């Protein structure tokens, strides 16, 4: 008998839970849709929606799916929401300016792919007007709140999107991010925010009103990193119809890569790590650092000066003028209807000329150059998603300065072409959540997501606002075009030759041990020091790491292995076989037998 239980009031909407229950028939899309609309009614006027699909319409769509039968599509029956500034054919787009509403004629490649995958739309969500702001306060629809305290902001500009996921009203939400809008609401609502590299996902659905085309990207809010990356994988890809879409988007690996047992992570050095007097936020970030160290990370303090300067350029420089391309005519026509803070910010768009613009472009290129060495030294840069959280009252009294403070760890990311994954970190003593964000170079989403997912699980936090645990993840399949190899010595993570795997596009899959019929020897005189693994009649399990390499990198890597080492089939303790390092038997004659240590890393630690 199945032990599956799911509450209509608080049951989790994560993709793993719903996907398994749909496949077995223990849940139906109709039941889930009804539960969501009951939750929406119970919340009352929470200012989440600018357009809510009628319950009857959503139920009809669910019934059509059920009538056709579960067909295995990745988002079959999965409920989702979309930020108001993104067009969906036949629905109104307002950009949080009701007077400028229009009915969209198309949805664009990214959103079309979600519908094709079987997703069910619940509605379009509230936002800071034209996407200008990180607070969720600048809207005629009323301000959303953090799901944990009505007095506190939800974060913006993708405010309704974040709350819709955190409140259990959608499994995921499609938002946007130019300065942090796809990350700040994640931090304030105990959810995940996936901010891809600009150009990875087509922005063809994004309304012209306020779009910063050179740096903006669609983003995803979800309950888990795996969920968000699954959605991103469906949306991503080159769109020849959209001028800022990047052809290399079709080749980006988006399956999260588990962190190796040893890795280096960066944190802002010195006074750049600021919390503006929030001692609880500082405590939580300190705990995040210790958690990452316990996971095998080595902390590296990073000079934050280039990132700090870049974040100031976003709103103090000419990028505000890019919004004028689409908003000058709107500002002229609807001036009195536009939120006063938004109007004040847009008024600066004419303060910059072509010289200012090119000077800023050149300066950012210099700052990106100055950070390249950083990325070669660390796997990810971990920053607080925000330095603190503010009440609605505090933001109303000081809207621009406090908004700027919230963006000190977010504003630079798109200008530098980086990707990021925001995840929960913990709660202040007053019950409000704060998060951290893992940043990586462009198109390195898989690396950032793998570390972020492992970190999120290590927190032990429940999902969003309900008492639902992180679902047990299904092991990710090996990406097409990759082969696994087991390494046993100097190629282990953190060891001297590990870079030979990384430089060929390799990534860590998992730790493992061999079956009990292997022996390990230290090959004295080898530089760098290496072990030799042989199969023997009597032996013991030996620790290995399983890495994956693209086929071209695999061949090149194998071809460069020096004698007396080579590769063959290793048998693991579960009976499976994998290609891995072996040693010629003649080479181990007279060499120290170190099998008793259980592996090369343990041998090094104990002998040291």
The catalytic residue positions are 83, 157, 181
| Distance between CA atoms of residues 265 and 415, nearest Å | 21
Asked if the bond preceding 528 is cis, omega within 30° of 0, the reply is: yes
Of the candidates 30, 102, 117, which has an alpha carbon nearest to the alpha carbon of residue 71?
Answer: 117
Query: What token pair was written down for 16?
Result: 């793993």
Q: Which helix (H) or strand (E) holds 99?
A: none
Closest to 533 (Cα-Cα) out of 525, 541, 549: 541
Evaluate whether 131 touches 101 at the Cβ level (below 8 Å): no
3-state secondary structure (DSSP) of residue 308: helix
Question: Are 484 and 580 a contacting pair, CB within 8 Å?
Answer: no
135: CB partners within 8 A, 6+ apart: 128, 153, 155, 156, 159, 390, 395, 399, 402, 403, 406
3-class DSSP state for residue 562? Answer: coil
User: Residue 505 is encoded by which pair of tokens?
Assistant: 């596009």
CB–CB of 523/591 below 8 Å? yes
The packing angle between helices 29-43 and 55-68, to 10°, is 160
Q: How far is CA 253 from the centre of its chain?
A: 13
* 3-state secondary structure at position 312: helix
As a whole number of Å, the CA-based R_g of the chain is: 25
What is 339-355 written as a DSSP string? -HHHHHHHGGGGG--HH
Return d(Cα 486, Cα 492) in angstroms, integer.
9
Q: How many CB atoms lie within 10 A of CB 600?
A: 25
Q: DSSP state, 418?
A: -
Total residue count of the chain as it appears in this document: 608
Chain centroid, CA 351 distance in Å: 35
User: What is the bridge-based pairing of β-strands 507-513 and 565-571?
Assistant: unpaired
Q: Which of 171, 191, 15 is nearest to 79 (CA)?
A: 171
Q: What is the 3-state secondary structure (H, E, C) of 582-600?
A: EECHHHHCCCCECHHHCCH
């Amino acid at each position: 008998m199945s032990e599956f239980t799911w509450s209509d009031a608080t049951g989790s909407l994560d993709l793993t839970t719903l996907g398994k229950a749909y496949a077995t028939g223990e849940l139906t899309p109709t039941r889930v849709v009804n539960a969501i609309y009951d939750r929406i009614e119970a919340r009352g006027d929470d200012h989440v929606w600018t357009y809510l699909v009628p319950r009857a319409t959503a139920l009809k769509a669910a019934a059509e799916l059920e009538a056709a039968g579960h067909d295995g599509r990745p988002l079959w029956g999965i409920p989702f929401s979309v930020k108001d500034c993104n067009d969906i054919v036949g629905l109104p787009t307002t950009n949080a300016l009701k007077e400028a509403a229009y009915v969209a004629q198309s949805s664009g490649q990214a959103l079309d792919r979600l519908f094709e995958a079987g997703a069910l739309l619940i509605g379009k969500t509230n936002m800071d007007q034209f996407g200008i702001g990180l607070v969720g306060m600048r809207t005629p629809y009323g301000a959303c709140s953090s799901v944990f305290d009505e007095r506190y902001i939800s974060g913006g500009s993708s405010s309704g999107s974040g709350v819709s996921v955190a409140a259990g009203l959608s499994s995921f939400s499609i938002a946007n991010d130019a300065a942090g809008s796809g990350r700040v609401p994640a931090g304030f609502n105990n959810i995940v925010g996936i901010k891809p590299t600009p150009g990875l996902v087509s922005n063809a659905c994004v309304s012209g009103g306020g779009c910063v085309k050179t740096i903006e990207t669609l983003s995803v809010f979800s309950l888990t990193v795996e969920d968000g990356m699954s959605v991103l994988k469906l949306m991503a890809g080159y769109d020849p119809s959209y001028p800022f879409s990047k052809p290399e988007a079709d080749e980006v690996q988006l399956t999260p890569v588990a962190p190796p047992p040893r890795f280096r992570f960066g944190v802002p050095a010195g006074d750049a790590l600021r919390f503006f007097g929030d001692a609880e936020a500082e405590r939580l970030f300190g705990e995040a650092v210790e958690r990452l160290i316990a996971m095998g990370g080595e902390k590296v303090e990073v000079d934050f000066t280039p990132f700090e300067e870049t974040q100031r350029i976003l709103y103090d420089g000419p990028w505000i003028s890019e919004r004028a391309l689409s908003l000058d005519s709107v500002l002229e026509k609807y001036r009195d209807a536009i939120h006063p803070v938004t109007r004040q910010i847009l008024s600066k768009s004419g303060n910059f000329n072509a010289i200012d613009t090119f000077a800023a472009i050149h300066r950012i290129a210099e700052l990106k150059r100055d950070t390249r060495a950083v990325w070669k030294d660390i796997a990810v840069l971990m920053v607080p998603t925000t330095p603190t959280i503010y009440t609605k009252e505090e933001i109303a009294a000081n809207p621009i300065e406090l908004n700027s403070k919230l963006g000190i760890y977010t504003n630079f990311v798109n200008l530098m072409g980086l990707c990021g994954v925001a995840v929960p970190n913990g709660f202040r003593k007053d019950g409000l959540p704060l998060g951290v964000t893992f940043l990586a170079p462009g198109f390195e989403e898989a690396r950032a997501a793998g570390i972020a997912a492992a970190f999120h699980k290590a927190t032990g936090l429940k999902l969003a606002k309900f008492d639902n645990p992180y679902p047990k993840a299904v092991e990710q399949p090996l990406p097409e075009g990759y082969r696994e190899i087991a390494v046993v010595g100097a190629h282990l993570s953190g060891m001297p030759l590990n870079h030979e795997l990384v430089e060929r596009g390799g990534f860590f899959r998992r730790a493992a041990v061999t079956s009990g019929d292997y022996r390990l020897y230290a090959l004295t005189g080898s530089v760098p020091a290496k072990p030799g693994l042989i199969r023997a009649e009597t032996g013991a399990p030996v620790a290995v790491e399983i890495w994956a390499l693209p086929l071209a990198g695999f061949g090149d890597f194998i071809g460069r292995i020096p004698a007396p080492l080579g590769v063959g089939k290793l048998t693991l303790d579960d009976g499976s076989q994998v290609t891995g390092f072996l040693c010629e038997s003649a080479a181990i004659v007279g060499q120290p037998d170190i099998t008793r240590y259980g592996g090369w890393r343990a041998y090094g630690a104990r002998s040291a």
